[in-house]
Amino acid sequence: MPELPEVETIKSSLQSNVGVRIVRVELRREDIVRQKDFAIGEIEGQTITALERRAKFLDFSLADGRHLVLHMGMSGRIYQAPADQVPAEKHIHLLLFLNNGRCLVYQDPRRFGGVWLLDKTERLFSRLGVEPLTAAFTPAYLSRAVKGRKIAIKSLLLDQRLISGIGNIYADEALFAAGIRPQRPAGSLNEEELKALVRAVKKVLRQGIRQRGTTFRDFRDGDNRVGTFQNYLQVYGRGEEPCRHCGQPLQVERVGGRSAHFCPHCQK
DNA sequence: CGCTAGTCCTGTCTGC
DNA sequence: TGCAGACAGGACTAGC
């Protein structure tokens, strides 16, 4: 569910908890912990010193230098609530009670997400590719990444080892904005198209962040509020509705096992 | 190496 | 109203 703009939105909305101490932890499901360098109880009494995003991961730095890292998978949420009003909802797996009167609620029905308790984030983050909103993501970088590759360009955009943070919605939106069909072999893109694609990826991700994410159904920010980028989607989730640009019906096809939305007229 | 299909889960929607 | 089946924003693995 949450892609880069959604995780970035969650991060911003939870920033006020930096500098706050975790007084009590309630782990309701042990099996959501994917990797454990230390026991969950050891985060009790610790202050959150930073909250950052890496790809689709949310990274809580703790005062002792260790990290609590979360991934939302398809259906995960993390939001703050008054500590004395913990929601009586299903699939709440982790609660962090803070000394500012709030608690952080981690909820994930499908459990494709998870929690990492790490001494260092290196092992988890080192296999991730470039952050698409940094200066390191350039046409030259993408050109090297696609060279000789027959894989569909959309699948390549979703490969977190190359570019980290793009998911199904923003991949489709970026390809539409760049005028490139999702099933095109990556290596077939010319310099001009690569340039357009880099620009389009940055553009749609920034728009997504500005609109505080896309709420198709599940996404909520750190205050449990919906985003608004769904009102600006050009292709994703629009089925065979008319293209907003040319009026021709959009098309949905499976590409690399994922649904791909595109305009056969506007995208080449 | 490249790609597909299967896997992990629950919830929701569609069609009968 | 019940039920079966398809599908969902992610990421990993096995196997051809």
Q: How far is the CA of A76 from the C1' of B8 (A)?
A: 14
- Residue of A34, A195, A206, A258 with catalytic role: A258
Q: Which residue is nearest to nucleotide B9 (CA to C1')?
A: A110
Q: In the complex, which nucleotide's C1' lies nearest to the CA atom of residue A183?
A: B3
pLDDT in tens, chain A (268 residues): 799 999 999 999 999 999 999 999 999 999 999 999 999 999 999 999 999 999 999 999 999 999 999 999 999 999 999 999 999 999 999 999 999 999 999 999 999 999 999 999 998 999 999 999 999 999 999 999 999 999 999 999 999 999 999 999 999 999 999 999 999 999 999 999 999 999 999 999 999 999 999 998 889 999 999 999 999 999 999 999 999 999 999 999 999 999 999 999 999 9
Instruction: Give the pLDDT score at A46.
Output: 98
- CA atom of A83 to C1′ atom of C14, Å: 45
Q: What are phi and psi of A206, to 5 degrees?
A: -65, -40
A264 carries an active-site annotation: no
Alpha carbon distance A124, A105 (integer Å) = 23
**Residue A16, helix vs strand vs coil:** helix
Known active-site residue A89: no
The answer to whether residues A171 and A157 touch, using CB atoms and an 8 Å cutoff, is yes
Asked if A233 and A3 count as a contact pair (C-beta separation under 8 A), the reply is: no
Q: From the CB of residue A250, how many other CB atoms can be counted at a distance below 10 Å?
A: 23
Whether A126 CB is under 7 Å from strand C: no
At A217 the pLDDT is 86
> How confident is the model at residue A95, as a pLDDT?
98
Catalytic, A191? Answer no
Give chain C positions with protein CB within 7 A. 7-12
Residue nearest to nucleotide B10 (CA to C1'): A110
Give yes or no for a contact between A133 and A202, defined as CB atoms under 8 angstroms apart. Answer: yes
Distance (Å, whole) CA A157 – CA A165: 9
d(CA A234, CA A166): 16
Could you give the strand order of the β-sheet that contains A77-82, starting from the edge strand earlier in sequence?
A: A22-27, A92-98, A102-107, A77-82
Active site residue A42: no
- The catalytic residue among A53, A56, A66, A212 is A56
